[in-house]
Amino acid sequence: MRRYSSDWYWYYAINYTLVIIIIFPIYWTLISSFKKPSELITSEPTFYPHDLTLQYYDQIWNFDRLKRLQDTESEDSESSGVEIESKFRLDGEGVKRPFMNSAIVSAGTIILTIIVCTLGGYALTVLNTPLKNFFFLLVILPILIPGISLIIPLYKLLKDLGLTNTHLGLILIHTCGMLPLGIFMMRNAFNSIPSSLREVAMLEGSSELKIITSVMLPLAIPGLLTVMVFAMYVSWNDYIYAFIFINSPENTMLNISLMKIALGGSQFEMKWGSLTAGSIVSFLPIIIFYTFLQQYFVRGVTGSAVKE
């Protein structure tokens, strides 16, 4: 491409236009989360917050279900007839606990997914596994049916296995949901690696597991990282499974908590401030994770450029 150096102007013009278009809704979400309620809804939209407020973040991070209700009461709440005992609720913990819960489920899903998909993708590509094509089709199946239509049988199953209301239950479901994409990606990744590399390793007497970890995986890193990003995406952003299968307050997932805060007290209300602040809170970890992996993407590129 270097030959067409006069085209670089175009290259960057197109890229930056796209960047502006794509960033805008996110930028809007971000600035909205810092605007005061009266600036939030107005016929003269402001493109940066004139009057900065952290009230939504404060509310989310230090969210206390009982306190919030007290605050909406105009009178002084000192005279409250109800004393609060904090034993059985998340007293002022905000979304810290749900945040941890989501982190655990996501980490679990990522780890389990890369193990299962690497092994599966390897077996279905490189090795002479019997019924290869049949297994492959089978593994693709989960993308063909909307998760929500399996909710009721899945609920019964989890209940029989004692996995409702557990992190493990969600991890297993998400990993299963990641199988099609994960195995497909790993298959493509392994496919592009010359088979001679494996033969050399085998002549040296390496076991299959050794070959995977020391020869194949380093070359399949772009694919592997993509799988990790998607595993994070699927588990971190999941709403419906986390909503249906978790029943106790201490196991609530982040998205569920944020949605409850944003939708507020009535079935019609929509608190734009809390909604946007909440989405930024749930947005940051996954962005950090992705940026963190980016460095390895680059390394992966140079890795795959190895000449035979």
Partner 1 sequence: MKLLVKLFLISLTILPFAKTTSAEELIIWSRGGWSDWMVEGFNKKMADEGKDIVAINNLIGHADFQVKFTAALAAGERVDVANIDLINVPYYAAIGALEDMTDFLKSQPYYDQLNGPMLALGSYDGTHFAAPNAADVSGYVYNKKLMPNPPKDWAEMTSMCEDFAARGQLMMAWPSKSYGGMIFTGMPVAWANGGSWVSKDGKTAELNHPKTVEWFKHYQNLINIGCVPENVDVWDWPDKQDGFLAGDIAMIGTGNFMINVVKDHTEKVDAGFTAFMGSDGSRNSAFIGGDLIAIPVTTGAKEAALEYIEYVLSEAGQIEVYTKNGGIPIRADLFEGNPYLTDDHMVFANASTVGDVPYTTVYQELMDPWQVANQRIFAGEDVQTVLDEQNAIMQKIIDAGH
Partner 2 sequence: MSRLRKEQLVGLLMVSPALILLAVFFLYPLVNSFYMSFHKWPLFGKPKWVGLDNYIFMFQDERFWESLKFTFVYTLTVTPMLFVVAIGTALLCNAKAWGTTFFRSIYFLPVVMSFATASYVWLWLYSEMYGVIVYALEFFGFGGENKNLNVWKTGTSSMWAVNAMVTWKFSGIQMIILIAGLQAIRDDYYEASKLMGASRWQTIWNVTLPLLRPSIALALILSIAGSIQAYEQFVIMTRGGPSNSTKTLVMHTVDMGFDYFKLGPAASLGVIIMIILFVLTVIQLRLFRKNY
Q: Do residues 94 and 61 lie in contact, with contact meaning Cβ atoms separated by under 8 Å?
A: yes
Residue whose CB is less far from partner 2, 70 or 237: 237
Alpha helices in 33-94 (DSSP H): 37-40, 55-61, 65-72
CA-nearest of 217, 136, 145 to 177 is: 145
Q: Which residues are CB-contacts of 29 (< 8 A; sequence separation ≥ 6)?
A: 276, 279, 280
Q: Do residues 101 and 254 lie in contact, with contact meaning Cβ atoms separated by under 8 Å?
A: yes
Tell me if 111 contacts partner 2 by CB under 8 A. Answer: no
* Chosen from partner 2, partner 1, none, partner binding at 28 (C-beta under 5 to 8 Å by type): partner 2
Tell me if 54 contacts partner 2 by CB under 8 A. Answer: no
Q: Which residues are CB-contacts of 94 (< 8 A; sequence separation ≥ 6)?
A: 60, 61, 62, 63, 64
Residues 2-41 that bind partner 1 (CB under 8 A): 37-38, 41
Tell me if 286 contacts partner 1 by CB under 8 A. Answer: no
Q: Which of 5, 73, 196, 302 binds partner 1 (CB under 8 A)?
A: 73
Tell me if 141 contacts partner 2 by CB under 8 A. Answer: yes
Residues in the chain: 308
Stretch that binds partner 2, among 88-96, 97-105, 109-117, 245-253 (CB under 8 A): 109-117
Tell me if 295 contacts partner 1 by CB under 8 A. Answer: no
Residue whose CB is less far from partner 1, 15 or 80: 80
Tokens of 51: 């009057």
Q: How far is the CB of 110 from partner 1 (least distance, A)?
A: 6
Residues 151-190 that bind partner 2 (CB under 8 A): 152-154, 156-157, 172-173, 175-176, 179, 181, 183-185, 188-189
Tell me if 200 contacts partner 2 by CB under 8 A. Answer: no
Residues 208-227 that bind partner 2 (CB under 8 A): 208, 222-223, 226
Tell me if 108 contacts partner 2 by CB under 8 A. Answer: no
Tell me if 294 contacts partner 2 by CB under 8 A. Answer: yes
Tell me if 119 contacts partner 2 by CB under 8 A. Answer: yes
How far lies 149's CA from each of 14, 142, 161, 169, in Å?
Answer: 42, 12, 20, 18
How far lies 126's CA from each of 129, 181, 211, 212, 300, in Å?
Answer: 9, 18, 11, 10, 20
Tell me if 297 contacts partner 2 by CB under 8 A. Answer: yes
Chain positions contacting partner 1, by CB under 8 A: 37-38, 41-43, 65-66, 68-69, 72-74, 80-85, 88-89, 100, 103-104, 107-108, 110-111, 151-152, 155-156, 159, 164, 167, 243-244, 247-250, 259-260, 263-270
